[in-house]
Structure formats: structure tokens, C-alpha cells
Structure 1
Amino acid sequence: MAKKNRAAGPAGDDRPARVPRKIYEKELFRLQAQLVTLQEWVRQEGARVVVVFEGRDAAGKGSTIKRVTQYLNPRIARIAALPAPTERQRGQWYFQRYVEHLPAAGEIVLFDRSWYNRAGVERVMGFCTKEEYQRFLSQAPIFERMLVEDGILLRKYWFSVSDGEQERRFRSRLEDPMRRWKLSPMDLESVSRWEDYSRAKDDMFVHTDIPEAPWYVVESEDKRAARINMIAHLLSTISYHEVQRRPLELPPRPAVKGYERPPREMQTHVPDHAASLT
């Protein structure tokens, strides 16, 4: 049914047809409403949810995270996008700085890249030693089993995109001054190291695709489809339910007791830029 509803792509474009915008927006909003329900269940039940987003550069991880969190309470659902480790962090146990960002009861944490940096970028670019890499492959399954055994709901998503589509997205960013910041020299390096990253991903899956915390692959040639597929799957893997919320009522506004607002001239106001537009 999904294929039947796909709109035809532009002439000469070898990309798969995209989900029609109206269908996509309607389903996305429905799923986002369910995410709000999930959030309330997590808060009331004291659940802990960790969602790991990994994949190729320009595979659509960031835009999917934006749609996941769009209507969620940032005090409950937060994004962990860690920068490069400091000198002190390099001297810590590798997983230590990620542990600091794990959720407490009633929280959801979305890792925009995660401890799997060591299995991807660090391995391919030579930012870690062979011994550190092998130790990671050995410890990662143990670390994740510990999280799951302690009650954390861990979900891991790999966003998959072809080399041709990745290049198209990179070129689009290069030509768009509003999105050029999304590109870094490291991103561009991934083009010439495509096969190296492919091998690294395959090896990573062999060692870390475990029953307690399996990898779920999201086909991301069509970003719209990738977003709704990922969100729908996440919701399907958690046995949440709608919770009773205390009804709220807007209280009546009390009668004025002599308060007078200070004259506008006594305060510094933002200039009315909007008025100049009309």
C-alpha cells in the first residue's frame, strides 16, 4: 500500500518516489501525538528510555530527531549530542562521559550519535588505537546489557543511505548558505572513505547487534518515509498506554487592586520591526 501511495519522482531522477507531502504530514502529526502520550507514560511510570541515532553523514538523523522532539517537553525528552572529548575525558573509561547523559526515572534521552563513534569515525579516521577499538567491541555489548538489565528501554537505529543520495545531499548543502554549516571537513572526508565506513559498520553490527539491544536499520533514501517509519517502529516497541492526567482549569482573574503599569517611556522596548514590513 505504501508503494501505491508514493508520488512519482522528477523526470530523470533515479531516487525512489517520495511519500506525498499531505499523507506524510498527516501521519507524522498522528505519530507525534502518540509520542506525547508516550512521554506522559514515561513521566508517570518513571520509565527510562534511550534512543541511539547512528548512520551515514546526511542520512537524516538530525531531521528525524527534530520531528521526534517537536512537541515533547524538553525537561522530559532531551537530546545528547556530545562534542569531541576533552583531554580529561580521553583519560576516562570510554563509556564514562556517555553514562553522565543517561536518563533518570521519567526521562527520554535521544543520542544524536553515541558511544558508537569509536566503531565508526574513530576507527576509520585513526582517532583511536586498534587496542581501544577491539576493547570497545568487547565492552559495548556488556555495557548495553547492563543498561537493559537495569530497566532502561534501549533502542538503536541505523539510518542507511546510498552513496549517490549522500552526495546529492552534500551538494545541496554546499549550495545553500542556510545549511552550509551542516558540512564539516570530516563529512566530506566520508565521501572518499565510503568503503572504509561500510566495512566499519558491518564489523560493528557483527559484534553489537545483540538480542538484548538489536540494531534497527532505517532506509533513508526518502527522508519523509524514514521519519515516519522510525517513529512508528519506536512506538510499536514500547508497551505504553494513555495515562490519566489531572484535569486543569483556568482560575478566574482576580479583581484589580489598584495596580498601575509604569509608563512605557520608563522601559526600553524592542523596535517594532514588524510594522516596517507593512
Structure 2
Amino acid sequence: MATKKQTGNQNSKLKRKEYEKELRRLQAQLCLLQESVKHQGQRIVIIFEGRDGAGKGGTIRAITERVSPRIFRVVALPAPSDREKTQLYMQRYITHFPAAGEIVIFDRSWYNRAGVEYVMGFCTKEQHSRFLEVCPLAEKYLVETGLILIKFWLEVSNEEQERRFEARIEDPLRQWKLSPVDLPSRERWYDYSRARDQMLEATDTRDAPWYIARSDDKKRVRLNCIAHLLSLIPYKRVPREKVKLPKRSMKRAYDDQATLQGRRFVPEKF
């Protein structure tokens, strides 16, 4: 496995104003990226994996909040149905893969088998071993078809995960984030660590490498992931015709506001 260089100072506090300025700059580049992807007909899959509470959702929101959902699609699949359990393992993920000019972001992916399914006993040891054996071959094939596959692992510390879980328990606006496997994952920290190590050893390949991002600082990990994502995808500014807003035509004009009288309006309390 290639050695990963760690840069940046995770201990220095990033001011909100500085964060928002840099985020806006990066999001503007994401808008250029989406135009280029559409123009070139690229097919891109981005995977976000990591422990529960690692900040995957917030990072994905930072990527997608200023771009078109018709080009950037987020896929977060629930537990498989009884029917899906009888399919080929990757089958239900592949049905969400992008067509030309699309980017699909998986909030957890087929790597569930290397993590939560294995640790929590939702798959057998044989299924886990077979997945680690076959997955690099399947990803190599996907990349050879022209698909751009980018894999991020968000690494949160024990202390920060504990703090985030406690916040979810106490804050009613965050309690929906607690899943049935979140609390058991705290008990099995080292089981998840070993599963992570096995996954990286088997699937961090030249064709589909893993990029590890430390995520204790939510602001920094969002900026770092977006910046690195932009560096991995070749894109260029697509020329656009100058847009001129047309004037409202008065042909067949009428008092269109008067016709709304008597309809049900949302109460204006604010």
C-alpha cells in the first residue's frame, strides 16, 4: 500500500469567515466541474466511507449544496430487502451508477460488507473474505470501462466520535442520526479498526485507491475533500453563450394576481 502523506494543522482553529470564503470558492469550482462533466460525458462515482459519526453526511452536503441534483446524485441505500439479499451483492449498487454526464455520490457503498456487515455478523466470514478478493477485480473492470471511481475514508478519532454520539443522544435535532448499529459500534471500536485495516490492505489499489481524510475538524475535512476531489477529476471551463433576460410579453395580459383571491395562502407569521 502506498504511503499517505499527512499535511495541514488539525489543531489550529479555522475561523468561520475563512471557512465560508474558501468553501464558496471551492463550490464555484464544483459548478465548473459539473458543466465540464456534462459536456465531456464523464461518468463519475464517489464513495464516502468511515465510522459512524465520521462526518460523511456533512461533507457530502458541502459538495452538493450549490450544484444540480440532476448531475450530482446522492445515493444512501437502506438495509437490503429480502429480495435484494438474494441478488448478486453489488447488484443493487450498480443500478444507481451514472450515465454519461453524471456524478453519483454513495453515502456508504458496497463496502458495507467490509465494515458493518462483517463486524455486526450480518454476513459470514466466507462472504467477507470473498468480497475482499473480488472487489478489487470488479473495481478494476469498472475503471477500465472509463468510469472515474474515487474513494474517501473519513477517519474520526475515538474521542470525537464519543462526543458526536453524546450530542446526538442529547439534541432532539440530531437524534434521527442515531441508527440501531451506532451504539454497538462504540463497543466494537477495535473490531471496526481491524475491519478497516483489512479493507484498506485488500482494496487500496492502483486502479481504485483510497484517500484517507482526518475528520475531527468538520470544516477542514469538507474543504480538504472538495479540494482533493477537484484535483482528481480533469475538468475545464465550458464556454457559455451570453444570456439575456427576455422582457415579459404583454400579449394576452390579464390581472393574474386577482385570480388568486379566495385561494388558500400560507399564513404570513414572519
Which bracket does the TM-score occupy, shorter chain normalised?
over 0.9
> 3-state DSSP class of the match of 1:143?
helix
Distance 1:119 1:242 in 2: 38
Q: 2:110 aligns with which of 92, 111, 115?
A: 115
**What are the within-5 Å matches in structure 2 for residues 80-119 of structure 1?**
80-119=75-114
Question: Given the alignment of the two structures, is residue 259 of structure 1 paired with residue 254 of structure 2, yes or no?
Answer: yes
Distance 1:258 1:43 in 2: 38
Q: 1:269 aligns with which of 253, 262, 265?
A: 265
Distance 2:227 2:113 in 1: 29
Amino acid at match of 2:12: A
TM-score (norm 1): 0.91
1:177 Cα offset (Å):
0.8
Amino acid at match of 1:152: L
Count residues in correspondence: 263
> 3-state DSSP class of the match of 1:63?
helix
> 3-state DSSP class of the match of 1:177?
coil
1:91–1:2 distance in 2 versus 1, CA, 3 Å? closer
1:269–1:134 distance in 2 versus 1, CA, 3 Å? same
Q: 2:119 aligns with which of 115, 124, 129?
A: 124
Question: Given the alignment of the two structures, is residue 182 of structure 1 paired with residue 177 of structure 2, yes or no?
Answer: yes
Q: Which runs of at least 4 in structure 1 moved beyond 4 Å after TM superposition? A: none
1:265 Cα offset (Å):
3.7
1:266 Cα offset (Å):
3.7
Distance 2:59 2:48 in 1: 9
Q: 1:149 aligns with which of 144, 148, 165?
A: 144
1:143 Cα offset (Å):
1.2
Percent identical = 55
Residue in structure 1 matched with residue 162 of structure 2 by the alignment: 167
Amino acid at match of 2:67: L
Distance 2:222 2:100 in 1: 26
Structure 2 stretches of 5 or more lacking a match? 1-6
1:2–1:207 distance in 2 versus 1, CA, 3 Å? closer
> 3-state DSSP class of the match of 2:265?
coil
> 3-state DSSP class of the match of 2:152?
strand
1:194 Cα offset (Å):
0.1
Amino acid at match of 1:270: V
- Do the aligned residues in 2 keep the contact of 1:31 with 1:231 (CA within 8 Å)? yes
Question: Given the alignment of the two structures, is residue 65 of structure 1 paired with residue 60 of structure 2, yes or no?
Answer: yes
1:17 Cα offset (Å):
3.5
1:257 Cα offset (Å):
2.6
1:263 Cα offset (Å):
3.9
Residue in structure 2 matched with residue 9 of structure 1 by the alignment: none
- Do the aligned residues in 2 keep the contact of 1:18 with 1:225 (CA within 8 Å)? no
Distance 2:131 2:8 in 1: 39
Structure 1 stretches of 5 or more lacking a match? 7-15
Residue in structure 1 matched with residue 229 of structure 2 by the alignment: 234
1:64 Cα offset (Å):
0.3
1:105 Cα offset (Å):
0.1
1:264 Cα offset (Å):
3.6
Distance 1:218 1:2 in 2: 11
1:132 Cα offset (Å):
1.2
Q: Which moved more, 1:258-267 or 1:202-211?
A: 258-267
1:258 Cα offset (Å):
4.4
Q: Which moved more, 1:45-54 or 1:238-247?
A: 238-247
1:23-62 per-residue CA deviation (whole Å, 9 max, x = no partner) reads 1111111111000100000001000111000001111110
- Do the aligned residues in 2 keep the contact of 1:41 with 1:241 (CA within 8 Å)? yes
- Do the aligned residues in 2 keep the contact of 1:18 with 1:224 (CA within 8 Å)? no
Distance 1:258 1:197 in 2: 66
- Cα RMSD after superposing both structures: 1.5
Question: Given the alignment of the two structures, is residue 75 of structure 1 paired with residue 66 of structure 2, yes or no?
Answer: no
Distance 2:115 2:8 in 1: 32
Distance 2:163 2:253 in 1: 64
> 3-state DSSP class of the match of 1:101?
coil
1:127-173 per-residue CA deviation (whole Å, 9 max, x = no partner) reads 01122111111111111111100111110000001111100111112
Question: Given the alignment of the two structures, is residue 158 of structure 1 paired with residue 167 of structure 2, yes or no?
Answer: no
